[in-house]
């Protein structure tokens, strides 16, 4: 099969190769998916560069956790009726050497989720990390129709989906952004109010928007940068769902958090419980079927241009997901 791969860590243009690799065979409980698209996430270029202290885990790495395609074969124990099913992939390369930047991937059947009719394969490649992270954060924060929610980084892929999931539950959403262009993007996802964190005092503005009450929940993309603001934006008994931070260690206003009974929930979307995964997938699927999710695709590249795609994501200048077309 044709695949993009690397044998050493480093800059994209220096280490990526595109060529032939063995086509996998589905083992017991697995499906073989002929991939149509592969999604690039920030974690992909960070791992390829050796970020997070991660070393190569195999002689050859085919990157990417997200993708979409068609089941073309099944292993023992999987219903033959799944052959031909359109699917999207989650955790394609988590603790595995071979991800979705290839013509085929073999993986456990539960990691290939039916893609509703009419939903494009490119959309399917947006879901695995961004959408599932967003829905898990919204679930952990227990957001409902009475909630006022602050989504930090409202123009990012996760933040944009989190806004949509919170709005689908009836919540009021305030999103932080850093520019007018990003403000427009967050509004298009349904954000009720926008706070430009580069243009004034975030705490004062949020208290003004909430009538002095503060927010009921925060969907947090960068704990180390934002925790200091919590006393100025959270109401008592609020919840914070943390899915990202810029540093290994963060300082939090611990005494104030204790005095106000603030709940903080940390998670990594690759390692959530089976019940949480099933609930998140169900919520995503329901909204997909209803056509209620907006998906932002920044750029599409052919597989051979994977290095350019990685460099684009690393620069962080685009809004939305970068997709590789495999065919």
Q: Looking up tokens 């791969």, which residue turns up? A: 5
All residue ranges of the chain with pLDDT < 70 are none
Half-sphere exposure in the Cβ direction for 14 (13 Å, CA): 7
**pTM as predicted:** 0.96
Distance CA 306, CA 302 (A): 7
Helix (H) or strand (E) holding 247: none
Distance CA 223, CA 275 (A): 26
pLDDT reported for residue 165: 98
Instruction: Note the CATH architecture for domain 130-270.
Output: Alpha-Beta Complex (3.90)
Helix (H) or strand (E) holding 1: none
Decide: residue 125, CB within 10 A, 0-12 exposed, 13-18 middle, 19+ buried.
Answer: buried
Q: Quick one: fold of 2-126+295-325? A: Quinone Oxidoreductase; Chain A, domain 1 (3.90.180)
Q: Do domains 2-126+295-325 and 130-270 have the same CATH topology?
A: yes
Apex 46 CA angle, 41 and 47, nearest 5: 100
pLDDT reported for residue 77: 98
Distance CA 2, CA 91 (A): 20
pLDDT, tens only, 188-227: 999 999 999 999 899 999 999 999 999 999 999 999 999 9
Distance CA 32, CA 45 (A): 25
Half-sphere exposure in the Cβ direction for 68 (13 Å, CA): 23
Length of the chain: 327
Residue 288, Cβ neighbours under 10 Å: how many?
22
Distance CA 69, CA 84 (A): 9
pLDDT reported for residue 227: 96
- Residue extents of the structural domains in the chain: 2-126+295-325, 130-270
């Amino acid at each position: 099969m044709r695949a993009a791969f690397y044998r050493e860590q480093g800059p994209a243009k220096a280490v990526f190769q595109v060529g032939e690799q063995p086509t996998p065979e589905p083992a017991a409980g697995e499906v073989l998916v002929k991939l149509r698209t592969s999604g690039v996430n920030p974690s992909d270029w960070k791992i390829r560069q050796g970020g997070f202290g991660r070393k190569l885990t195999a002689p050859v790495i085919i990157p990417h956790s997200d993708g979409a395609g068609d089941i073309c074969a099944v292993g023992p124990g999987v219903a033959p009726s799944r052959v031909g099913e359109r699917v999207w992939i989650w955790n394609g390369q988590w603790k595995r050497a071979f991800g979705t930047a290839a013509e085929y991937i073999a993986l456990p059947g539960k990691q290939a989720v039916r893609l509703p009719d009419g939903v494009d394969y490119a959309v399917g490649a947006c879901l695995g990390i961004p959408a599932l992270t967003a829905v898990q954060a919204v679930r952990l924060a227990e957001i409902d129709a009475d909630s006022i929610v602050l989504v930090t980084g409202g123009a990012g892929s996760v933040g944009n989906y989190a806004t949509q999931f919170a709005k689908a539950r009836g919540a009021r959403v305030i999103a932080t952004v850093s520019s007018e262009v990003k403000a427009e993007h967050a509004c298009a996802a349904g954000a009720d109010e926008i706070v430009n964190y580069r243009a004034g005092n975030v705490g004062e503005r949020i208290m003004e928007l909430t009538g002095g009450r503060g927010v009921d929940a925060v969907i947090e993309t960068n704990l180390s940068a934002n925790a200091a603001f919590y006393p100025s934006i959270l109401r008592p008994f609020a919840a914070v769902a943390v899915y990202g931070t810029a540093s290994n260690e963060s300082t939090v206003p611990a005494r104030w958090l204790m005095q106000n009974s603030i709940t903080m929930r940390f998670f990594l979307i690759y390692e959530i419980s089976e019940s949480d995964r099933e609930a998140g997938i169900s919520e995503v699927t329901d909204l997909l079927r209803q056509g209620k999710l907006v998906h932002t695709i920044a750029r599409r590249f052919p597989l051979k241009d994977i290095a350019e795609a990685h460099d684009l994501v690393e620069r962080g200048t685009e809004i939305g997901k970068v997709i590789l077309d495999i065919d």
